[in-house]
Structure 1
Amino acid sequence: MKKYRVAVIGVGSIARMRHLPEYQANPHVEIVAVCDIVPERVEETAAQYGAKAFTDYQELLDQVKPDIVSVCLPNYLHAPVSIAALEAGAHVLCEKPMATSAEEGEAMIKAAKENNRKLMIAHNQRFVASHQKAKDLIEAGELGKIYSFRTAFGHGGPEGWSIDGKDSWFFKKDQAFIGAMGDLGVHKSDLIRYILGEEFTEVAAIVEGNAKTDSDVDDNAVCLLRSESGIIGTLTASWAYNSSEDNSTVIYGEKATLRLEDDPDYSLIASYTNGQTVKYELGQIQSNDAGGQTTSHVIDHFIESIQADRDPLITGEEGLKSLNIILAALESSETGKRIKIKQ
Structure 2
Amino acid sequence: MSNLRVAIIGCGSIAQNRHLLEYEENKYVDIVAVCDIVEERAMVTAEAFGAKSYTDYEELFSKEEVDAVSVCLPNYLHAPVSIAALEAGAHVLCEKPMATSREEADQMIETAERNGKKLMIAHNQRFVASHEKARKLIAAGELGKIYSFRTTFGHGGPEGWSADGENSWFFKKDQAFIGAMGDLGVHKADLLRHVLGEEFVDVAGFIENNAKSEITVDDNAVCILRSESGIVGTLTASWAYNAGEDNSTVIYGEKGMLRLEDDPSYSLIAQYTSGETVKYELGQIQSNDEGGQTNTGVIDHFVEAIVEDKKPLIDGEEGKRSLEVILAALESGETRKITQLAK
Kept in 2, the 8 Å contact 1:69–1:91? The answer is yes
Corresponding residue for residue 218 of structure 1: 218
The letter of the residue matching 1:321 is: R
1:333 Cα offset (Å): 0.4
- For 1:206 and 1:323, the matched residues in 2 are separated by 17
Deviations 1:170-189 (A, max 9, x none): 00000000000000000000
Work out whether 1:111 is the aligned partner of 2:107: no
1:2 Cα offset (Å): 2.0
- For 2:177 and 2:41, the matched residues in 1 are separated by 24
Kept in 2, the 8 Å contact 1:171–1:179? The answer is yes
- For 2:177 and 2:93, the matched residues in 1 are separated by 20
Corresponding residue for residue 200 of structure 1: 200
Corresponding residue for residue 174 of structure 1: 174
Corresponding residue for residue 121 of structure 2: 121
1:218 Cα offset (Å): 0.3
1:263 Cα offset (Å): 0.2
1:339 Cα offset (Å): 0.5
Unaligned runs of at least 5 residues, structure 2:
none
Give the 5 Å matches for 1:292-331: 292-331=292-331
Q: Which secondary structure state, in structure 2, belongs to the residue aligned with residue 274 of structure 1?
A: coil
Kept in 2, the 8 Å contact 1:94–1:121? The answer is yes
- For 1:74 and 1:255, the matched residues in 2 are separated by 43
The letter of the residue matching 2:236 is: T
Corresponding residue for residue 228 of structure 1: 228
- For 1:130 and 1:229, the matched residues in 2 are separated by 24
Work out whether 1:133 is the aligned partner of 2:145: no
Work out whether 1:158 is the aligned partner of 2:158: yes
The letter of the residue matching 1:172 is: K
Deviations 1:5-30 (A, max 9, x none): 00000000000000000000001000
Kept in 2, the 8 Å contact 1:145–1:254? The answer is yes
Q: Output the aligned Cα RMSD.
A: 0.6
Q: Which secondary structure state, in structure 2, belongs to the residue aligned with residue 62 of structure 1?
A: helix
Kept in 1, the 8 Å contact 2:18–2:293? The answer is no
Q: Which secondary structure state, in structure 1, belongs to the residue aligned with residue 263 of structure 2?
A: coil
The letter of the residue matching 2:133 is: K
- For 1:206 and 1:108, the matched residues in 2 are separated by 29
Work out whether 1:332 is the aligned partner of 2:319: no
Kept in 2, the 8 Å contact 1:151–1:249? The answer is yes
- For 1:39 and 1:169, the matched residues in 2 are separated by 17
- For 2:187 and 2:88, the matched residues in 1 are separated by 28
1:298 Cα offset (Å): 0.3
Total equivalences in the alignment: 343
Give the 5 Å matches for 1:40-55: 40-55=40-55
Work out whether 1:100 is the aligned partner of 2:114: no
Kept in 1, the 8 Å contact 2:147–2:253? The answer is yes
- For 2:289 and 2:62, the matched residues in 1 are separated by 36
The letter of the residue matching 1:325 is: V
The letter of the residue matching 1:192 is: L
Corresponding residue for residue 249 of structure 1: 249
- For 2:51 and 2:287, the matched residues in 1 are separated by 26
Deviations 1:111-157 (A, max 9, x none): 00000000000000000000000000001100000000001000000
Q: Which secondary structure state, in structure 2, belongs to the residue aligned with residue 86 of structure 1?
A: helix
- For 1:29 and 1:113, the matched residues in 2 are separated by 23
| Segments ≥4 residues shifted beyond 4 Å | none
- Relative to the length of structure 2, the TM-score reads 0.99
Kept in 1, the 8 Å contact 2:202–2:227? The answer is yes
Deviations 1:220-277 (A, max 9, x none): 0000000000000000000010001000000000001000000000000000000000
